[in-house]
Amino acid sequence: MSNSTTQIMEETVSETTSDTAPLVSSEVPSSSNYTQLNHTSDIQETVEDELQGSHGVRRRQPIQKIEPGSMNTLSAKYESLDYDTCENHLLLDEERKRGYAFIVWKDIARWVIVLLIGVITALIAFIIDICIEEFSKIKYKQLKKSVDTYVMLDKLYIPYLLWVLSNICVVFIGSMLVAYVEPVAAGSGIPQVKCYLNGVKVSRVVRIKTLFVKAVGVITAVVGGLAGGKEGPMIHSGAVVAAGISQGKSTTFNKDFKIFQYFREDHEKRDFVSGGAAAGVSAAFGAPIGGVLFSLEEGTSFWNQGLTWRTFFGTVVSTFTLNIALSAYHGHPGELSYPGLLNLGKMEPFPFQFYELPVFMFFGMVGGVLGALWNYINYRLSVFRIRYIRSPWLRVVEACLVAAVTATCGFLMMFVLDDCRPLGEDPTKVPLQLFCADGEYNTMAAIWFQTPEASVRSFLHDPMGSYKPLSLLVFVICYFLLSTWTFGLAVSSGLFIPNLLTGAAWGRMLAILIQYMLPSNTVNPAKYALVGAAAQLGGVVRMTISLTVIIIETTGQISNALPIIITLVVAKWTGDFFNEGIYDIHIQLAGVPLLPWEPPPLAHNIYASEVMSHPVFTLRTVENVGHIVELLRVVSYNGFPVVDPPLADDAEVTTYKRLRGMILRSQLIVLLQNKIYNENANTTWSNFNVDMNMFRKEYPRYPSIEELEISDWEKTCTIDLRPFMNPSPYTLPHRASLPRLFRLFRALGLRHLPIVNDLNEVVGMVTRKDIARYRVWRHRGHMGMEELLLSSE
Ligand code: ATP
């Protein structure tokens, strides 16, 4: 690291820490430093104190109303998932009663669920593929017919209007669904799935309604001619299928099948969702290994060997099922030649010399620069959308406008670029003569009158000389801009295919240039088109391992691996020099508290005592119902440390108490809802017939405290929290450093972490959001750390 970089980091760190006095490790907080709240009357007062920043209370960053579209805020609306198992008495009781047989049964159930996820994801992919193919066939056949008819009559505006109208009508349907029925189904869904797997609850992201809108939306987007693909949405679809099946119930249909109840917890559900996302990749690209690696590289923060195996099983089942279905549909049952939705055609292994490696690096650099530019334009557009295109109808209008502009661009290119080739030289399905001589067809029309995926195939496989360099250049500029405008519209579509298409076009263009410069060499255009496609996509999404494997599996050529790896690595490094990958940009724009892979560097001098919130709202092991209700009403926190009640002879009532466990808001709500309380504080919980299923029944949507009816008399009762709380939560001492806190949250998927002093008394509270607030920024070789603001939006 250069001196200047170090200096910037040091400056930033000292700026970050200067407003809070670091607590030296030997310092033990005293009761005058911190207070702890146990009394109902304290609660309201302290919340007010906090907001005013009164002495003795750490002024927690206030939740602000920040102008949307800012990159340095975290949104308070996202809650965290809890990967940690609550090992309470009820769980131990259940384990003891059910024994080993239940463990085996659960394991078998996991494999069966993964099998179902693979099959159903593949069937959804099959339906989407067939719909897109059939509707596109009808659309382009009609358009060709119309062009052929009206070109003679010099009335080409009629097919043009037809094209625009057909695009708008189809896109309108999908866009209405996304804008009005399920906005979370917009885009590819990969950023949302990535957040979910990282441990952030994104509302409605894995609902069946979302899946339905996603599937219809992607069909309409591709048939509507937008510069989008069906592959990204498949990943989201796989995740929804996994979440739905593994929970054995559907919130959309309000139906509980009363199966797989024991998987109704964040921990289990998230494992299935990562398997589902992988099965989606596998169906999209016919890439089972790429699917597993995708989940590992892009999404899942928590991984283990068992999960690897199951995920791999799911991806294999998914590609196999899709293969059988598509092969049968295309009239070759049993042939198994359609492993995924993306079919790049049969690629030959391309021989390469060592002196070509710098050429691949150059391609990687071009891809990195273009990808960064693509991301930058998309970022500016997204900010504009967030600020000004907010109402659903405006979003629908924008989508329809893009659909019309896309058709206009295509039409102008066909019309203006006079690029004709003799028929029969390339396998176009809709050869359009337009103004070409007899026996020739318009190459741009051939590219536009088919799905973008088929166009990628054309750029990869058509022989050298099939396209004029000028046509390719115009196509690259148009498609580059259209695709960056399309991503983020209120439609469901992904960015893989449009970027592969743009990259394949400029790769082919550079191949023509190389051929021109080295006339003695016969340049293989497929090689450069493929490397260009990989570079462009890599420059946008910044994936390396998984993308390499996906491309290798999709093209079926392991021998092409090295050029692709080199290209993707250089594309990532080049792109990272300018900005982040597109998914991360969208995640930051949404203010999602995502935990990165590594803790912020040079942060060992930031201590838990500076990061934590205090005073802490705690509950006593045997707590008064009225107090719990009041607490839940006044504060919005989701976790509360459970502490020992003060001893009768404890003179100083405000000192903090020894930590006994952690209890979640959701658990308290279920206890209140089921009225698990006693008139008498000495009555034990065993009087109630309570088991884990009481909590699982409500998972994952619990009623709010306002929805519960609790009478004044009930408020005088008490709840014994001990059997329900997590009796051994992870804790850290107040002197722990930020990287240590970070690793604990990241590796264990924690949601809350009580901070204790040397006597195991709770002195503070750290949540996932508190950690996610510290973010590293890198820009053009500089590096630093910033503390993000907390926004209410
Ligand atoms: P999540 O949103 O992850 O589901 P949460 O609602 O409990 O969890 P946050 O929204 O992250 O917590 O908390 C906002 C702020 O409140 C954080 O700064 C956190 O440290 C603080 N906080 C959380 N729980 C408590 C508590 N029991 N007592 C005092 N402060 C708390």
User: What is the 49 CA–ligand 1 centroid distance (Å)?
Assistant: 16
Instruction: Name which residue sits closest to atom 8 of ligand 1, judged by CA.
Output: 638
User: What is the 30 CA–ligand 1 centroid distance (Å)?
Assistant: 22
**Cα dist. 527→120, 393, 544, 562 in Å?**
35, 44, 19, 12
The pLDDT, as a whole number, for residue 377 is 98
Kindly give, in sequence order, each residue whose CB lies less than 8 Å from that of residue 536, ignoring residues fewer than 6 positions away.
Answer: 367, 370, 371, 374, 499, 500, 502, 503, 506, 507, 571
The pLDDT, as a whole number, for residue 190 is 92
In a domain? residue 313: no
Looking at the structure, tell me whether residues 614 and 560 fall in a common domain. no
Looking at the structure, tell me whether residues 472 and 381 fall in a common domain. yes
- Sign for the CA dihedral angle at 649, 653, 658, 660 comes to positive
Cα distance between residue 497 and residue 230, in whole Å: 8
User: What is the 199 CA–ligand 1 centroid distance (Å)?
Assistant: 15
In a domain? residue 609: yes
Token digits of residue 62: 């206030």
Closest atom of ligand 1 relative to the 790 alpha carbon: 14
Closest atom of ligand 1 relative to the 61 alpha carbon: 18
The pLDDT, as a whole number, for residue 360 is 94
Looking at the structure, tell me whether residues 574 and 604 fall in a common domain. no
The pLDDT, as a whole number, for residue 335 is 78
Closest atom of ligand 1 relative to the 615 alpha carbon: 29
Looking at the structure, tell me whether residues 557 and 625 fall in a common domain. no
Looking at the structure, tell me whether residues 656 and 579 fall in a common domain. no
- What is the four-CA torsion angle of 435, 439, 442, 443, rounded to 10 degrees? -160
> Is the Cβ–Cβ distance between 260 and 186 less than 8 Å?
no
Tell which residue, 469, 512, 399, 503, has the closest CA to residue 172: 399
Looking at the structure, tell me whether residues 559 and 612 fall in a common domain. no
Closest atom of ligand 1 relative to the 80 alpha carbon: 3
DSSP assignment string, 538-565: HHHH---HHHHHHHHHHHT-GGGHHHHH
Which amino acid is it at 294? Answer: F
DSSP assignment string, 172-187: HHHHHIIIII-GGG-S
297 secondary structure, DSSP code:
I
User: What is the 776 CA–ligand 1 centroid distance (Å)?
Assistant: 22
| Total domains, the chain | 2
Buried b (16+ CB within 10 A) or exposed e, 633-666: eebebbbbbbbbeeeeeeeeebebbebbbbbbbb
pLDDT averaged over 10-residue windows placed end to end, the chain, 793 residues: 37 37 36 44 54 44 67 88 89 90 93 97 95 93 90 88 96 97 93 91 90 96 93 93 90 81 90 94 93 83 83 96 92 80 78 86 97 97 94 96 96 86 68 80 87 89 86 96 96 94 96 83 85 96 90 85 93 94 94 90 90 92 93 94 74 66 96 86 63 86 91 90 94 95 91 93 93 82 81 73
Looking at the structure, tell me whether residues 557 and 701 fall in a common domain. no
Token digits of residue 313: 């099983």
Closest atom of ligand 1 relative to the 640 alpha carbon: 27
Domain boundary among 531, 556, 589: 589
Looking at the structure, tell me whether residues 551 and 637 fall in a common domain. no
Which amino acid is it at 26? Answer: S
Domain that holds residue 403: 354-589
User: What is the 94 CA–ligand 1 centroid distance (Å)?
Assistant: 30
Cα distance between residue 263 and residue 478, in whole Å: 48
Ligand 1 pocket, residues with Cβ under 6 angstroms:
60, 79-80, 613, 616-617, 636-640, 751-752, 765-770
Domain boundary among 531, 555, 589: 589
Instruction: Name which residue sits closest to atom 6 of ligand 1, judged by CA.
Output: 637
In a domain? residue 716: yes
Cα distance between residue 609 and residue 24, in whole Å: 9
Looking at the structure, tell me whether residues 695 and 737 fall in a common domain. yes
Provide the CATH number for the domain around residue 551: 1.10.3080.10
The pLDDT, as a whole number, for residue 301 is 65
Looking at the structure, tell me whether residues 687 and 764 fall in a common domain. yes
In a domain? residue 456: yes
Count CB atoms within 10 A of the CB of residue 384.
12
User: What is the 637 CA–ligand 1 centroid distance (Å)?
Assistant: 5
DSSP assignment string, 450-507: S-HHHHHHHHHHSPTTSS-HHHHHHHHHHHHHHHHHHTTSSS--BSHHHHHHHHHHHH
In a domain? residue 116: no
User: What is the 1 CA–ligand 1 centroid distance (Å)?
Assistant: 36
> Is the Cβ–Cβ distance between 197 and 182 less than 8 Å?
no
In a domain? residue 628: yes
In a domain? residue 9: yes
The pLDDT, as a whole number, for residue 299 is 65
The pLDDT, as a whole number, for residue 258 is 82
Domain boundary among 565, 589, 613: 589
Looking at the structure, tell me whether residues 376 and 496 fall in a common domain. yes
> Is the Cβ–Cβ distance between 381 and 589 less than 8 Å?
no
User: What is the 205 CA–ligand 1 centroid distance (Å)?
Assistant: 23
Task: Give the 3-state DSSP-derived string for 632-668, with helices as H, strands as E and coil as C.
Answer: HHHCCCCEEEEECCCCCCCCCCCCCCEEEEEEEHHHH
The pLDDT, as a whole number, for residue 569 is 96
Closest atom of ligand 1 relative to the 641 alpha carbon: 27
Provide the CATH number for the domain around residue 67: 3.10.580.10
The pLDDT, as a whole number, for residue 341 is 80
Backbone angles phi, psi at 686, to 5 degrees: -65, -10
Instruction: Name which residue sits closest to atom 25 of ligand 1, judged by CA.
Output: 637
Looking at the structure, tell me whether residues 379 and 496 fall in a common domain. yes
Kindly give, in sequence order, each residue whose CB lies less than 8 Å from that of residue 303, ignoring residues fewer than 6 positions away.
Answer: 296
The pLDDT, as a whole number, for residue 706 is 93
In a domain? residue 63: yes
Pocket test for ligand 1, best of 765, 770, 789, 791 (most atoms within 8 A of CB): 765
